[in-house]
Each structure stands twice: as C-alpha cells, then as structure tokens.
Structure 1
C-alpha cells in the first residue's frame, strides 16, 4: 500500500499541492542560500580588490606628496641662495656709495661736469685752459665745472636709491623666473 492511498480522496489534491509547494519553496530557499554564498564570495573578492586599489592610490598620493615636498624644499633653497647673493650685491652697492660719500665729504674727490663751449668761441683761442691736464679728469682739455659738495652728495644718494631699486627689481625678476621655472 502506498502512502497516497492512506489519504482520503478529497484531501489528496490538497496534500499533493502542499507537497509540491513545499518542495518548490525548499528548492527556492536552497537556491537562495547558495546564491547568498556565491554573492558573499563575490563581495569578499570585490572588497579585496577595492582595498588593493585604495592601497595603490594611497601609495601614489604619498609619493606625489613627497615629490612636491622635495620640489618645494629645493625651490626654497634656490630662493634662499638667490636672496643671499642679491643681499650681498645690495650691501656692496651701499658700501660703495658710503665710500663715495666719504670721499666727497673729505674733499678727496670732487664731482665735475663738462661745460658747453660758448657759442662763437674759436677753438684755436683756448688760452684760458691749463696747458696740462689735471689728474682725475676724463676728458683732457675740455672745460669742466666742479659740483658743490652738498649737491654731489645728493646726486650720490639719488644714484644709491637707483642702484637699490635696480637690485630689488632684479631680485623680484629672479624670484618670478625661479617660481615659473619650477612649474
């Protein structure tokens, strides 16, 4: 005798349908569990790849940060060296101007300018000129006029400010060139 024969006829259809549904739900549940295992493995693999990728990105970022730091350090050293050179030039120009002012103040040196020949004067009649050239003159035989000491010192001060400005401009230009060269 079969197990199906023990079930009354009116319940056989319901029992068969229930058994079929139970088998269907069981298979679906088993498939669900198997798919969950597979999905878990895939997610674990993806997480592992993701972690490796993040590690490589982090290493590359750290390397780039180190390169930028080294580049900045090199630029700072170049700018420091350039600044020291320019500062030395500035000190030398100031010392030179101070020595020139001192020589003007002690009358060791006199500044002079060439004077223009008066119109209508014949160059052959230069009896007013000394026969020998004085020491320190650039142009022999030309008429020169000495500049007042105070005016000479003002001229030296003006040229010193000009020299400082030229050196400062050179410093700025060198700074900009150095910065632009590293980009």
Structure 2
C-alpha cells in the first residue's frame, strides 16, 4: 500500500482523463467554431439582403429619373411644336399684312368705311356708292386715303402679332400645367 493513504493511479486512468479533457476541449472548440460559422453566415446573409435592397433602391431611382427625363423631353417636344405652329402663324400674318400693304400702295385695293346715312344727308359731301359686288343699295361708303389705310394696316398688324404672341404664351402655360 502506498504511503500517505493515496491509492495508486493507473496510467490508464490518467490517459482516459486526459483523453476526456481533450475531447471536452475539442467539443467546446468545435461548438465555438460552429457558433462562429453561424454568425458569419448570418452576417453574410444580412449583407446580401442589404445589397439587394440597395440595388432595388438604385434601380427605382434610375427608373424615376428616366421617367422624369422622358416627361421633360415630351414637354420640350410639345413646346417646340407649339413654337413652330405660332412662328408659322406669325410669319403668315406678317406675309398677309405685307401683301395687303403692297396692294394698298399700288392702288390695287382701296379701303373704305361705312358712313352713317344721316351724316351723308347733312351735307358731308360723301356720295352714296352702290353697285354690284353685294353691296346694299343706298349704302354710303367713304374711301380712306392711302396713308391712313397704311396706318390702319400697321395697327391691325401689331394687333395680330399681339394676339398670336398671347396664344403662344397661353399654349406654353397649358403645356407646363400638364
């Protein structure tokens, strides 16, 4: 028997104890490694989800920007078409006014005004002009001097240009309001 009341420990028992300690330590290390792997996987899944969400937001923003650009382009095209329409109307009106001025200058056309018959009877010196061409019998007309006719044509030309510009402005505002 051994001294001091100790029992002899066999090498086999020590080996089993060491082996159990190694297995327990390995299991703990394995458990730690598995837990670390799970967290890593969760972080990777989270990063993937965030990347997909960011990608979707980027695509949505790009689509919205493209839609806004398409709207702006459509508006620009409508405004350009409107501008061309009113520019053509303005040039047509100016051309017509120029022709009218030319006809007045060459005496090809004379402007006249209706005169109140009661004024003609009062001695205004204006003769009644009646004849073919659809005029009512007895209608009194007075011819305008060419210079006065030119001034009247100038006034109507400015009025026409003003009306065309107003229509263009109104079309522009309507196009923007859409």
TM-score using structure 2 length: 0.71
Shift of 1:41: 2.9
Q: 1:160 aligns with which of 141, 146, 157?
A: 157
* 8 Å contact kept, 2:128–2:141: no
Shift of 1:32: 7.6
Match of 2:170 in 1: 173
Size of the alignment, in residue pairs?
151
Match of 1:77 in 2: 77
Shift of 1:37: 4.6
* 8 Å contact kept, 2:113–2:144: yes
Match of 2:46 in 1: 46
Match of 1:111 in 2: 111
Match of 2:131 in 1: 133
Query: Aligned with 2:139: secondary structure?
Result: coil
Q: 1:176 to 1:150 in 2, by over 3 A?
A: same
Shift of 1:42: 2.5
Matches of 1:180 and 1:31, distance apart in 2:
68
Matches of 1:113 and 1:31, distance apart in 2:
111
Q: Where does the alignment leave 5 or more consecutive residues of structure 1 unmatched?
A: 4-26, 123-127
Matches of 1:174 and 1:143, distance apart in 2:
43
TM-score using structure 1 length: 0.69
Match of 1:18 in 2: none
Structure number with the bigger relative contact order (C-alpha 8 A, sep ≥ 6) is 1
Q: 1:97 to 1:70 in 2, by over 3 A?
A: same
Match of 1:9 in 2: none
RMSD across aligned positions (CA): 3.0
Query: Which whole-Å deviations, capped at 9, do the CAs of 1:14-64 have from their partners, x for residues lacking one?
Result: xxxxxxxxxxxxx8x998876655443322221110000001111111112
Q: Where does the alignment leave 5 or more consecutive residues of structure 2 unmatched?
A: 1-6, 10-27
